[in-house]
Structure 1
Amino acid sequence: MSELKMDGVELEILWSNLIGVVTERAKALQRIAFSPIVREAGDLACALFDLRGRMVAQANTGTPGHINSLAFAGAHLVREFEGRCAPGDVLITNDPWLSAGHFFDITILTPIFNGERLIAYIGSTIHHTDIGGYGIGAGARDVHEEGLWIPPLKLYEKGQPVEVLHTMIRRNVRTPDAVFGDLSAQVSSGQAAAEHLIALCERAGLEDIEQLSDEIIQRSEDATRNAIRKLKPGTYHGESQFDVPGGEIITLKTAVTVDADTGTITVDFTGSSPQTATGINVVLNYTHAYSTFAIRSCLNPDLPNNTGSLAPIVIQAPEGSIINCAYPAPVNARHVVGMYVPMPILKALHQVMPERVLAEGSGAVWTIQIQGRQADGRPFTSSMFNYSGGMGARAEKHGPSATCYPTGVAAVPIEILEAAMPIVFDRKELRRGSGGAGRTRGGDGQSIQFHMRTDYPWLLNAVPSRLENGPDGIAGGAPGAAGRFLVNGKPVSEAKKLTMQAGDVVVLDTPGGGGFGTAA
């Protein structure tokens, strides 16, 4: 353990300033992004890194899958380019196994220089509208069919665009203006954040943020370990099952071990389903992101989220399992399984802290991507739009309806979607009574119906889940209702991209959340 040297008042002032710097960057990025999935839904993450690649602070907005995966991506990029960065450089990757688990999530890392001295890094990950290839669905047969793979590279070098890489990206995506608009938003917001961090260091008399980082990370780790030491030690088990597109049943098993002596929690996913032939496989970074989110939400959600607070939580999963897939497994719809990762963990934690967990919710948001042509023949690709079911009930409160847990993104407003492409939403309403009964009720799902205003055939990527069985209740609570995916009134459960015709009508009925406790 390193010696702590800063007093609490000084640290709190500097900590607040760091959060302000990274949060301002996140909000600026959200305002200027081209893609509605970023601008309207907030599907992004921003974080500050020290010279050793440790995540020091995150913005107060973003999704757990992006934020905690960004911790790994940033650390890798710092190691990869150590000693090879200059003022004006900007680093990039969307490698699924190094970052957030699929090609659509592009990480940008900006080295921050004060003069010629490197003092820190600022990074962001956002979901991009298009990255070529198959699209957001689960139908690709391996990762190479899914889109453009960008290894760790420099997007800008000494302030100048790397033309070969820019040209490669532009020629491999369907909507290059939107993609480069979002990349530019990431780059420019990083430059603004760099200016504010330099000013902060100069005001505080700091050459870099290394001492400040040591203080923040060590205190965060100590506080997390102390919170774990208060729990009853032992190993606790949880299991969740759910169906995915194509009707396959996925099983996630967890053994959650609380070690009070070391102040660690280990989550072992041994016994979970093996990786599949469809693009719902999950890389370990993404599994780690949602596992740590579930534990920290129950443990002490007020603690800072950084490398220190994540260190006492160890995630293990067999290589080749569906939540630690091996190359070249397809991964583009990895959220379909990844967003269920908290569910078996919460079931295990119910045996330790029953008042802090919630029943199973609908799990993964139902993601929809549409590709087609406008009336004048111009192509369009929709931003992915997310529809959530109900959250699980809590010990003392009903589950919120139509709420994206655990991802935390918002649904893109239908007015934005109707303005961006030829789609018409006939209705969007709650599925009353779809939440499971109990002492507290699960949240209701929602019902959405839409059709397209086009004379051309169009393509639909839809990846619903829980079409057979709804989310489990807990402590005697009843399960929520299963979902329904209908095309022209007929049930559909397909992992592949669907070719649709003008006039086809799509209905999405998302699941309700499970109930908590026995109803009176």
Structure 2
Amino acid sequence: MIDSIELEILWSNLIGIVTERAKALQRIAFSPVVREAGDLAYALFDQRGRMVAQANTGTPGHINSLAIAGRHLIGMFEGKCEPGDVLITNDPWLSAGHFFDITILTPIFRGERLIAYVGSTIHHTDIGGYGIGAGARDVHEEGLWIPPLKFYERGQPNRTLHTIIQRNVRTPDAVFGDFSAQVSSGQAAASHLVALCERYGHDDIEAMSDAIIERSEEAMRNVIRALPAGTFHGESSFDVPGDKVITLKSAVTIDNQSGTIIVDFTGSSEQTDTGINVVLNYTHAYSTFAIRSSLNPELPNNTGSLAPIQVRAPEGSILNCSYPSPVNARHVVGMYVPMPILKALHQVIPDKVLAEGSGAVWTMQVQGVQATGEAFTSAMFNYSGGMGARAAKRGLDATCYPTGVAAVPVEILEAAMPIVFERKELRRGSGGAGHTQGGDGQIIKFRMNTKAPWWLNAVPSRLKEGPEGVGGGEPGAHGRFLVNDDPVSSVRKLKMEPGDVVVLETPGGGGYGAADATK
């Protein structure tokens, strides 16, 4: 039995280990979207596949998807791991929803006895195939599918798998640089965890895992028990590339007897023939984030605090797509998942939710040939619109809720490839009016300094209707995507000519409450 004081000490150590290793991984990663934007997740798992502790950095879509990916990998390789093994997958339906997010899981041994696992998911620069856009016709056109395999076996690289990956990506040095960051950080975390167990006289982390998860779950259930019971509905609609309108409907059922919340997306749009479909793991990740961050964001995010939240979506819907649906741009829809949930929760805890924000980050990826003849493929770089207004504070400018991923600085992008940014500023007045105002979007203007044609993958959204306000707040401004001053709404990869100029005007966030409430 672990007493409260010892548990607090052990917990602080566990958080320190995963956070330190996550930040080290971020510092040494090759991909700018990991190194500069923090597009990653890092967590510790017990022998039973339960996420015990996550790092104090990362994005919700990765973190809560990693909890599911870790459980899958641990179950599939139970009894089959040896010291020095490293597991890998990017299976969209087992992990984070598209091929670019690759999960690496390191079994941690104390001698010959397996005591835990540490895992990371990061967005890789390249995975071959179509790229980050939404134009592929099925998942097999989108890149290399890595099933659950051993990436290292007893400390030695799986040469067959390494060779397959190298021959299927455009930038193998960058990809394997990121792999090295993930593997080395896992090895260091393993050493620190073993040292922790030895220092405090524990054979493994099972006792502390039981205590942490049980307390986290009970605390979360108590928060839910304090809410009024009932089923509350929310709905959010938005346009996506290809002039399609997606509707997400949520029914949030609060059972304050058992301390359980069920989020049901029945009635949402069906899956599409473009790569904006979302697997249930990713839907679950952003649903649980919306609930957790609204009810009690201070609770540890682990298997225990996630257990009282159940997420359902009909198979074949856009939030629970079926194989072989294309999914590479799944964030375009996935990052809207919290919006209908927040509208439902506004009926229960109005002071703890926010109005609709701009939704998904606007993702850009460019490919082409440098003047030297060397090919380049950019990492995904993101631009956020305005965040929705809060009950007592205006929405943040150029800040995407819910992802939290930062923009890669323009200086980093200009140093890495022949891109020239001519403008990057706030889009003043784009946030919706209200008792509190929605955050402003931003304006970005760039061109490529190439002599040959180049390719642009762009997946903006909300080009027709801006984010809705809540409680009488006004909507934010819709976005604009221009090439040479001409509006574009295409899901396909665009062939661009030297000198073409791209302008992005991201949406503003919705306002909160009627404006006359301040008078």
TM over 0.5: yes
The aligned counterpart of 2:155 is 159
The aligned counterpart of 1:323 is 319
The aligned counterpart of 2:212 is 216
- Once residues 102 and 123 of structure 2 are traced to their aligned partners in structure 1, the CA distance between those partners, rounded to angstroms, is 7
The aligned counterpart of 1:114 is 110
- Once residues 243 and 255 of structure 2 are traced to their aligned partners in structure 1, the CA distance between those partners, rounded to angstroms, is 38
Amino acid at match of 1:339: M
The aligned counterpart of 1:374 is 370
Unaligned runs of 5+ in 2: none
Match of 2:351, SS state, is coil
The aligned counterpart of 1:471 is 467
Question: What are the superposed Cα offsets for residues 25-80 of structure 1, whole Å, 9 maximum, x if unpaired?
Answer: 10010010001000000000000000000000000000000000000000010011
Q: Aligned to 1:356, which of 325, 340, 352? A: 352
- Once residues 315 and 458 of structure 1 are traced to their aligned partners in structure 2, the CA distance between those partners, rounded to angstroms, is 41
Amino acid at match of 1:86: E
Question: What are the superposed Cα offsets for residues 104-158 of structure 1, whole Å, 9 maximum, x if unpaired?
Answer: 0000000001111111000000000000000000000000000000000000000
Unaligned runs of 5+ in 1: none
- Stretches of 4+ aligned residues off by more than 6 angstroms: none
Match of 2:371, SS state, is coil
Q: Aligned to 2:24, which of 22, 28, 39? A: 28
Amino acid at match of 1:323: L
Q: What is the correspondence of 1:63-462 to structure 2 with a 5 Å cutoff?
A: 63-462=59-458
- Once residues 66 and 454 of structure 1 are traced to their aligned partners in structure 2, the CA distance between those partners, rounded to angstroms, is 34
Q: Is 2:431–2:477's contact at 8 Å kept on the other side of the alignment?
A: yes
Q: Is 2:357–2:400's contact at 8 Å kept on the other side of the alignment?
A: no
The aligned counterpart of 1:504 is 500
Question: What are the superposed Cα offsets for residues 420-476 of structure 1, whole Å, 9 maximum, x if unpaired?
Answer: 000000000000000000000000000000001001100000000000000000000
Following superposition, the deviation at residue 273 of structure 1 comes to 0.1
Following superposition, the deviation at residue 7 of structure 1 comes to 1.7
Match of 2:103, SS state, is strand
- Once residues 204 and 227 of structure 1 are traced to their aligned partners in structure 2, the CA distance between those partners, rounded to angstroms, is 32
Following superposition, the deviation at residue 8 of structure 1 comes to 1.3
- Once residues 308 and 88 of structure 1 are traced to their aligned partners in structure 2, the CA distance between those partners, rounded to angstroms, is 29
- Once residues 167 and 241 of structure 1 are traced to their aligned partners in structure 2, the CA distance between those partners, rounded to angstroms, is 44
- Once residues 408 and 24 of structure 1 are traced to their aligned partners in structure 2, the CA distance between those partners, rounded to angstroms, is 19
- Once residues 210 and 367 of structure 1 are traced to their aligned partners in structure 2, the CA distance between those partners, rounded to angstroms, is 41
- Once residues 196 and 294 of structure 1 are traced to their aligned partners in structure 2, the CA distance between those partners, rounded to angstroms, is 32
- Once residues 195 and 345 of structure 2 are traced to their aligned partners in structure 1, the CA distance between those partners, rounded to angstroms, is 44
- Once residues 407 and 494 of structure 1 are traced to their aligned partners in structure 2, the CA distance between those partners, rounded to angstroms, is 24
Q: Is 2:40–2:58's contact at 8 Å kept on the other side of the alignment?
A: yes
- Once residues 364 and 61 of structure 2 are traced to their aligned partners in structure 1, the CA distance between those partners, rounded to angstroms, is 18
- Once residues 7 and 390 of structure 1 are traced to their aligned partners in structure 2, the CA distance between those partners, rounded to angstroms, is 45
Q: How large is the Cα RMSD of the aligned pairs? A: 0.4
- Once residues 432 and 352 of structure 2 are traced to their aligned partners in structure 1, the CA distance between those partners, rounded to angstroms, is 19
Amino acid at match of 1:230: A
Q: Aligned to 1:488, which of 464, 470, 484? A: 484
Aligned residues: 516
Amino acid at match of 1:500: M
- Once residues 268 and 288 of structure 1 are traced to their aligned partners in structure 2, the CA distance between those partners, rounded to angstroms, is 11
- Once residues 272 and 254 of structure 1 are traced to their aligned partners in structure 2, the CA distance between those partners, rounded to angstroms, is 8
Q: Is 2:369–2:454's contact at 8 Å kept on the other side of the alignment?
A: yes
- Once residues 454 and 178 of structure 1 are traced to their aligned partners in structure 2, the CA distance between those partners, rounded to angstroms, is 22
Following superposition, the deviation at residue 399 of structure 1 comes to 0.2
Match of 1:193, SS state, is helix
- Once residues 404 and 384 of structure 1 are traced to their aligned partners in structure 2, the CA distance between those partners, rounded to angstroms, is 16
Following superposition, the deviation at residue 6 of structure 1 comes to 2.0
Q: Is 2:358–2:384's contact at 8 Å kept on the other side of the alignment?
A: yes
Match of 1:449, SS state, is strand
Following superposition, the deviation at residue 13 of structure 1 comes to 0.4
Question: What are the superposed Cα offsets for residues 200-231 of structure 1, whole Å, 9 maximum, x if unpaired?
Answer: 00011011100110000000000000000000
- Once residues 65 and 409 of structure 1 are traced to their aligned partners in structure 2, the CA distance between those partners, rounded to angstroms, is 10
Match of 2:208, SS state, is helix
The aligned counterpart of 2:36 is 40
Amino acid at match of 2:75: R
Match of 1:355, SS state, is helix
TM-score, normalised to structure 2, is 0.99
What is the percent sequence identity of the aligned residues? 80
The aligned counterpart of 1:14 is 10
Amino acid at match of 1:195: S
Amino acid at match of 2:401: Y
Q: Is 2:19–2:55's contact at 8 Å kept on the other side of the alignment?
A: yes
Q: Is 2:438–2:510's contact at 8 Å kept on the other side of the alignment?
A: yes
Question: What are the superposed Cα offsets for residues 162-216 of structure 1, whole Å, 9 maximum, x if unpaired?
Answer: 0000000000000000000000100000000111000000011011100110000
Match of 2:365, SS state, is strand
Match of 2:20, SS state, is helix
Following superposition, the deviation at residue 404 of structure 1 comes to 2.0
TM-score, normalised to structure 1, is 0.99
